[in-house]
Amino acid sequence: MSRKAVIWGSAGFALLLFSTIVCISLGAARLPLSEVWRILWHQLPIVGDMVKVDWAVSSERIITMVRLPRVVLAILVGASLSLAGAGFQGVLRNPLADPYTLGVGSGAAVGAAFIILFGFHTALLGKWTIPMVAFATGLISLFVVIRLANIHGKFRLETIILSGVVVSAFLSSLVSFMVSMSNKVVNEIVFWLMGSLALRGWPFTVVLIPYLAVGMVVLFAYSRTLNIFALGERQAAHLGVKVERTRMIVLIVSTLMTAAAVSMVGTIGFVGLVVPHLVRLMVGPDYRLLLPLTALFGGVYVLWADTIARVILSPKEIPLGVVTAFLGAPFFAYLLRRNKNMTRS
């Protein structure tokens, strides 16, 4: 397992670095790869002075002020949503679980939209207000979904997704209602709802980091327990796992990461579904390996999705949520079918 970890880990990092440079170079103003590389290198402390400055100031401006924060934000959002997806799947033992299909994304969106629309952006907690409110509403909707799906202490695979869809539909209409009430900021909200990383800048990127860090630490600490969870809840209890507590903690931190990502960039569906499954296909079900690689490849995935979103119809930008849904929804259909086949045989 440690050899596997080294191989896949370094492959993942290499891919992430490569993707970062390529995605920075792409855009309305094409910047050559070598220049991107040297400008990035130049930003590093101490070793940064090794490269000679031979580029236009505007290029450096574009990279450090516009593209780099966006790229980093995409990576953080991808890592957060993918990790959240893996957490939900592990603890609910449901391969179809994802922040989006569970209604957590919409739940977080309601809270965030409320704050944005009524202009409480910085009430109480400063720039942390939106994520915290989104977290609260996301958590509430998650428990409503679980409550709905829970029949006599058991929930079936599809039931929980169905409740997720129902709750999602209700919450989305709530958001639409709020949007129609106010006409000042409609455009901003609508675009945010569909998911976008445009014009966010460093302040947004920085806010996401502590949430992701907390989520990573907690989930990584639970990776061995999540392996045991795969055997079933009763088996896990017989192996000494505190089932209720584990489930609660993992659900809460997964929701926290979802809420942070959603409040920054809106609802971006299916990332938490696609990435953990692809990583599982590559390295198997062991969460000790699965979780770190999910974070890594999740970053790469959303980075490319966002690059497609801003480049493909340039100068027009499509919402990121549209791109991820285009990729993710067929994948969801595939998983649904495969699970049906598996439970039948």
Partner 1 sequence: MIQVDHVYKKYGESTVLDDVSFSVMKGECFGIIGPNGSGKSTLLKQLSAVERADSGVVQLDGKPVEQHTRRSLAQWLAVLQQESLPPIGFSVREVVEMGRFPFQNWLGGEKLDVDALIDSIIDKLGLAELQHRSLDQLSGGERQRAALGKTMAQQPKLLMLDEPTTYLDIGHQIQLMEQIRAWQKEANMTVIAVLHDLNLASLYCDRILMLNKGKVVSIGTPQQILNSELIRDVYGITPIVVDHPVNGTPQIILQSNIL
- Interface with partner 1 by CB under 8 A: which residues? 221, 224, 227-228, 230-232, 234-235, 237-242, 280, 284-286, 342
C-beta closer to partner 1: residue 67 or 280: 280
C-beta closer to partner 1: residue 28 or 342: 342
C-beta closer to partner 1: residue 237 or 312: 237
Q: How far, rounded to the nearest angstrom, does the alpha carbon of residue 192 sit from its chain's CA centroid? A: 15
C-beta closer to partner 1: residue 156 or 224: 224
Distance of closest approach, residue 90 Cβ to partner 1, in angstroms: 11
Q: Give the DSSP per-residue string, 323-336.
A: HHHHHHHHHHHHHH
Q: Give the DSSP per-residue string, 152-201.
A: TTB--HHHHHHHHHHHHHHHHHHHHHHHHH--SSHHHHHHHHT---TT-H
Distance of closest approach, residue 343 Cβ to partner 1, in angstroms: 10
Distance of closest approach, residue 190 Cβ to partner 1, in angstroms: 41
C-beta closer to partner 1: residue 186 or 237: 237
Distance of closest approach, residue 235 Cβ to partner 1, in angstroms: 7
CA 170 vs CA 145, 223, 271: distances in Å: 12, 34, 22
Residue pair 40/21 in contact by the 8 Å Cβ criterion: yes
Q: Give the DSSP per-residue string, 7-44.
A: HHHHHHHHHHHHHHHHHHH-SSS---HHHHHHHHHHHS
Distance of closest approach, residue 99 Cβ to partner 1, in angstroms: 23
C-beta closer to partner 1: residue 126 or 153: 153
| Percent of the chain that is helix, strand, coil (3-state, to 5) | 75, 0, 20
Locate 312 and state its tokens: 């493909």
Distance of closest approach, residue 187 Cβ to partner 1, in angstroms: 46
C-beta closer to partner 1: residue 56 or 221: 221
C-beta closer to partner 1: residue 29 or 231: 231
Spell out a b/e string for 73-111, using b for 16 or more CB atoms within 10 Å of the CB, else e.
Answer: bbbbbbbbbbbbbbbbbbbbbbbbbbbbbbbbbbbbbbb
Q: Which of 101, 89, 85, 129 is nearest to 264 (CA)?
A: 129
Q: Which of 328, 214, 270, 255 is nearest to 91 (CA)?
A: 255
Distance of closest approach, residue 216 Cβ to partner 1, in angstroms: 16
